[in-house]
Chains A and B, each alone.
Chain A
């Protein structure tokens, strides 16, 4: 089955700087790569996703890049703000298969 590794597990970034979280996956058939944000006391919520026919996707301050050859994808947050502090999960899946989540990254934005 699919295995997703996520790094780093914790990340502290000065407000206004950029944050990057990286994930690698094992199953070359995987074709869907979402990112979830979990705020304190809440369930994870989708913030951006990318499909294997696209190399990069951007939504305001958030971008995701995908390298299918190397089997890794990354989340980039620019101009970080205090409300970006949360736990972030990457995930991967193929077709109708269930999502396989990474182990999570706790991001802290330092004012």
Chain B
């Protein structure tokens, strides 16, 4: 079983609020990722990190930001939530070695009202 955790599982919040989605892994993985999953199932990469102090934007433009101060922790922040941010957010991690499995957390379902 994957040792990667996301909190909260569900979040309903008002427009304009600042939110942080937490993601932690205990596997010592250098690579970490954030995906946004729309109701149509498709996974969109919004941020990734290959190690401490390394963050990159993914394929889908996002107003969120991320930080990687510690290997095990990769939080995602929205400074001012909007209804368009309503979605499922999935965090994942993998080893540095080539062609290795990505482990996913259970996701945070965010609803902005």
- By a beta-carbon cutoff of 8 Å, the part of chain A in contact with chain B is 1, 9, 31-32, 34, 36, 41-46, 49, 51, 87, 89, 93, 95-96, 98-99, 101, 103-104, 106
Contact between A87 and B41, CB atoms less than 8 A apart: yes
B43 interface residue (CB < 8 Å to A): yes
In the complex the two chains form, is A51's CB within 8 Å of B99's CB?
A: yes
Which residues on the A side are within 8 Å of B99 (C-beta)?
Answer: 31-32, 49, 51, 93, 95
Please count how many residues in chain B sit with their CB below 8 Å of the partner chain's CB atoms.
Answer: 21
Which residues of chain B come closer than 8 Å to A95, judged between CB atoms? 98-99
Nearest opposing residue in chain B for A105, CB measure: B41
Q: B residues 61-97 with Cβ under 8 Å of A?
A: 90, 92, 96
The 29 sampled A-B contact pairs (Cβ below 8 Å) are A1-B59, A31-B99, A32-B98, A34-B101, A36-B104, A41-B106, A41-B107, A42-B106, A43-B2, A43-B104, A43-B106, A44-B43, A44-B90, A45-B104, A46-B102, A49-B101, A87-B41, A89-B43, A93-B99, A95-B98, A95-B99, A96-B96, A98-B31, A98-B45, A99-B102, A101-B43, A104-B40, A104-B43, A106-B41
Whether the Cβ atoms of A43 and B101 lie closer than 8 Å is no
CB contacts (< 8 Å) of B105 on chain A: these are 43
Q: A34-B101, A46-B102 are in contact. Are A103 and B96 (CB under 8 A)?
A: no
User: In the complex the two chains form, is A104's CB within 8 Å of B42's CB?
Assistant: yes
Q: In angstroms, how far is the closest chain B Cβ from the Cβ of A8?
A: 12
A100 nearest CB across to chain B (Å): 8
Residues of B within 8 A of A51 (CB): 99
Chain A hits for B104, CB < 8 A:
36, 43-45
Contacts of B59 in A (CB 8 A): 1
Which chain A residue lies CB-closest to B33? A98
Q: Give the 7 A-B residue pairs with the shortest CB-CB distance, closest first.
A: A43-B104, A32-B99, A104-B41, A46-B101, A101-B43, A103-B42, A44-B104
